[in-house]
Amino acid sequence: MNWPLTIRQAHARLRPHVRETPLELSLALSQATGAEVYLKLENLQHTGSFKVRGALNKLLQLSPQQLQQGVVTASSGNHGAGVAFGLAKLGARGLVFVPQGASPTKLEAIRRYGAAVRVYGQSGDDTEAYARSYAAQHGLTYISPYNDPQVIAGQGSIGLEIAQQLPQPPQAVFVTVGGGGMISGIAAYLKSLSPATQIIGCQPANDAAMWASVQAGRIVRLEAQPTLSDGSAGGLEANTITFELCRTLVDDWVTVSEEEIRAAMRLFIETQHQLLEGAAGVALAALLKQAARYRGQRVVVVICGANIGLSALQAVLC
């Protein structure tokens, strides 16, 4: 697949519908790490998350008949809100399956955009399997959170924007990984322009299914522990195309503890005066943990979302 072309097409398709989010130099984080730190602020995106890019790119390519029949997706929250946002724009309807324990704040956002929500499964991979089966049984279109080339291409538009916004290629890009759609798209685009750019996959130690799968050379299922990074939580579909993309395009992996995520989130809120969610804190925590390796380098941290509930925010700040 010609990923750079597909991502450029996705970017053109999305331009009327999504924000080109800022890429800002952070003086505070640059001083804290010794690197030249740029923040790609997807927390300022519509729905408060990058996920709207992939969801809309997929929705915009469905036929009128598919939209009329309806779509189904599975999500821990942000992808569901992105799908619901897109459906509202297109005047279509959809159903979002979420796992038990999904963030109430994110579920309210999905409902606010007009999509129906149903709870199924203890984990994200159980929810995905059920939602895909439900769509097939009812003749509806299933939109994967990550296991779909057009979803990946939509997320890859972040990489295209980074390339346009920086006068020189970054030497490293830190990206939080759940199902792997965002890092696959960003890596596929940036490495086509700058093969030397290091793509760093970042996961919470409590729920690092993609990292464990890459280490094992096959997709594995882990017993996940609770994490602040609910947006990246959950396992992987057995046939996901993101596994091979992550295996070949991601240069290094960093796992971070819950306290490291919490500390990174506090630092961001204090210095940048913006909100971020746990998944966004993972990428920043990874840079802070590995700061000595990137002194003097130009690095980008993708701040992937802002959707954090009040109780989670209180736990971070206390």
- Among the listed residues 283, 304, 311, the one whose alpha carbon sits nearest the alpha carbon of residue 79: 304
- Among the listed residues 151, 147, 152, the one whose alpha carbon sits nearest the alpha carbon of residue 237: 147
Residues 287 and 252 occupy one common structural domain: yes
Q: What is the CA radius of gyration of the chain?
A: 18
Q: Pick from 143, 158, 187: which residue ends a domain?
A: 143
pLDDT in tens, 202-212: 999 999 999 99
Residues 177 and 84 occupy one common structural domain: no
Residues 43 and 69 occupy one common structural domain: no
Q: Pick from 94, 114, 143: which residue ends a domain?
A: 143
Task: Write the CATH number for 69.
Answer: 3.40.50.1100
Residues 111 and 243 occupy one common structural domain: no
Residues 70 and 211 occupy one common structural domain: no
Residues 36 and 139 occupy one common structural domain: no
Residues 209 and 303 occupy one common structural domain: yes
Residues 257 and 297 occupy one common structural domain: yes
Rounded to two decimals, the pTM is 0.96
pLDDT in tens, 57-76: 999 999 999 999 999 999 98
Structure tokens at 195: 């093969």
Residues 212 and 180 occupy one common structural domain: yes
Q: Which of 112-126, 247-261, 286-300 has the lowest average pLDDT?
A: 112-126
Q: How far apart are CA 270 and CA 62, in angstroms?
A: 42
Q: How far apart are CA 200 and CA 28, in angstroms?
A: 21
- Kindly indicate the confidence band of residue 121, based on its pLDDT and cuts at 50, 70 and 90: confident
Question: How many domains are there within the chain?
Answer: 2
Residues 190 and 290 occupy one common structural domain: yes
Residues 185 and 291 occupy one common structural domain: yes
Q: Pick from 125, 143, 161: which residue ends a domain?
A: 143
Residues 199 and 85 occupy one common structural domain: no
- Percentages helix, strand, coil for the chain, rounded to the nearest 5? 50, 15, 30
114-134 b/e with 16+ CB inside 10 Å = b? ebebeebbebbbbbbbbbbeb
Domain residues for 31?
3-50+149-317
pLDDT in tens, 167-202: 999 999 999 999 999 999 999 999 999 999 999 999
